[in-house]
Amino acid sequence: QVQLVESGGGLVQPGGSLRLSCAASGSLLSITVMGWWRQTPGKQRELVAGISGGGSTNYADSVKGRFTISRDSAKNTVSLQMNSLKPEDTAVYYCYTHKPGRDYWGQGTQVTVSS
């Protein structure tokens, strides 16, 4: 089993910044990609950013140039630095990781971008 605990969500004004963090614990052998997804009511969960064990990253087009994902394999953490936030970034953000045969999700953290 893998447990993922997110922190760092909250309310921020448009143009502001937030940093999300996720700590992984449990049976971490063989975990591969780590990442962040988000979901708003009535919509499917969408990938925001992912990072492989080797450090390769990928981003949703909507966040490229504004968000940066990073990973500390020694501490088993993954972070998402979000800059120039927009109201459309408002969502519940979920930390994610994968082991062969199974996906793992955190409980989610709310990010609200509003003036």
Q: Name the DSSP letter for residue 27.
A: -
Host H or E run for residue 35: strand 34-39
> Given the DSSP bridges, would you call strands 10-12 and 109-113 parallel, antiparallel or unpaired?
parallel
Residues 24-49 pLDDT 10s:
998 888 888 999 999 998 999 999 99
| Alpha-carbon radius of gyration of the chain | 13
Phi, then psi, of 61 in degrees rounded to 5: -55, -35
Query: What's the chain's length in residues?
Result: 115
Kindly compute the dihedral angle of the four CA atoms of residues 8, 45, 35, 20, in this order, to the nearest 10 degrees. Answer: -10
At 62, the pLDDT band (50, 70, 90 cuts) reads: very high
In our burial notation (b when 16+ CB lie closer than 10 A, e otherwise), range 7-36 reads: ebbeebeeeeebebbbbbeeeeeebebbbb
Residues 76-106 pLDDT 10s:
999 999 999 999 999 999 999 998 889 999 9
